[in-house]
Amino acid sequence: MDFWQIFWTIVSIALTGLTTWLVGVITNFFNKKIKDSSLQNHALTLLDIVQYSVMEINQTYVSEMKKAGKFDKEAQQVAFDKCYTIIQSKLTPQLREYIIDNFGDIASHIKTLIEATVYQTK
């Protein structure tokens, strides 16, 4: 293994740990702020779906592209699209209704959550 391969492996492991910690912090925040257990459950489920989808794409696509030195704007868009597709496939009708009722547009809310999760894991 060369230096960069080791470096990106360590970075990937660190990001996974950081994301797991972040899931715990956000979960605690929602547990304290949201009193309605149904809304709380939907909010936490949605966050879990987004965060684990971002982690999955980071481990399977982003890390490889970074190792190859090919993580440019186009690759970032591909990563976003893959993550968005995974999230859309995991949304239940109840989660879709929760998003529409509380945030309006599903696509823009998912985009915001993906961007926030990626930003928090940098």
Mean pLDDT of 67-94: 94
pLDDT for 30 equals 66
3-state helix, strand, coil split of the chain in percent (to 5) is 85, 0, 15
Residue 22's domain comprises 3-120
Question: How many other β-carbons are positioned within 10 Å of the β-carbon of residue 65?
Answer: 16
At 93-105, the pLDDT tens digits run 999 998 998 889 9
In the chain, the percentage of residues whose pLDDT exceeds 70 is 93
Question: How many other β-carbons are positioned within 10 Å of the β-carbon of residue 85?
Answer: 12
Task: Give the total number of structural domains in the chain.
Answer: 1
In this predicted model, which residue has the larger pLDDT, 108 or 120? 108
Q: Which of 9-18, 22-31, 55-64, 81-90 has the highest mean pLDDT?
A: 81-90
